[in-house]
């Protein structure tokens, strides 16, 4: 699957909007070398979500999870659904 067989939008710069470049730059800005992978963030997600649900300073306790969630929409969605589960059931709150 080379670029010549499968032309990418980069071949036509006119088609790419400023919004895309801004989004990319914002992602780059948040990127640090010592970032967690999805696996590392996922492993800590249950602990992290309990901190958030309990109004603890989750971002300070687990900054690398927080940062990963800022950069990874898939993991963020897992977090949001999980938080909604905890927050919608008094009985299951930590």
Partner 1 sequence: MNSNTILEEHIVKKRTNEEWLNELKSDGQVKDKALADLHHILVSGLRRGLLGRVNTSAPEFETQAEDFVQEAMLKILDNLDSFAGRSLFTTWAHKIAVSVALTELRRKRWQDTSLDGMMDTPDGVYTPSIVADSAPAPENATERKEMMAHVYRLIMEELTEKQRTALIKSVIQNMPTAQVAREMNMNPNAVYKLLHDARVRLKKRLLDEGLSPSDILSVFE
**Residue ranges binding partner 1 (CB under 8 A):** 1-3, 8-10, 13, 16, 18-29, 31, 33, 35, 37-39, 42, 45-47, 49-50, 71-74, 77-78, 81-82, 84-86, 88-89, 91-92, 94
State the Cα–Cα distance between residues 36 and 89, nearest whole angstrom: 30
List, in order, residues 6 or more apart from 9 with CB less than 8 Å away.
Answer: 15, 16
State the Cα–Cα distance between residues 42 and 40, nearest whole angstrom: 5
Residue 68 CB, shortest distance to Zn ion, in Å, is 6
Sign, CA dihedral 85-87-49-78, equals: positive
> Is residue 38 close enough to count as binding Zn ion by CB under 5 A?
yes
| Residue 7 contact among Zn ion, partner 1, none, beta carbon within 5 to 8 Å by kind | none
Interface residues toward Zn ion, by CB under 5 A: 38, 72, 75
């Amino acid at each position: 699957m080379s670029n010549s067989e499968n032309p990418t939008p980069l071949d036509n710069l006119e088609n790419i909007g400023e919004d895309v470049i801004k989004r990319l730059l914002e992602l780059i800005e948040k990127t640090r070398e010592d970032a967690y992978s999805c696996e590392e963030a996922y492993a800590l997600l249950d602990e992290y979500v309990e901190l958030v649900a309990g109004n603890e300073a989750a971002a300070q306790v687990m900054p690398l999870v927080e940062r990963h969630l800022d950069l990874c929409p898939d993991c963020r969605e897992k977090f949001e659904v999980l938080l909604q589960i905890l927050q919608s059931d008094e009985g299951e709150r930590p």
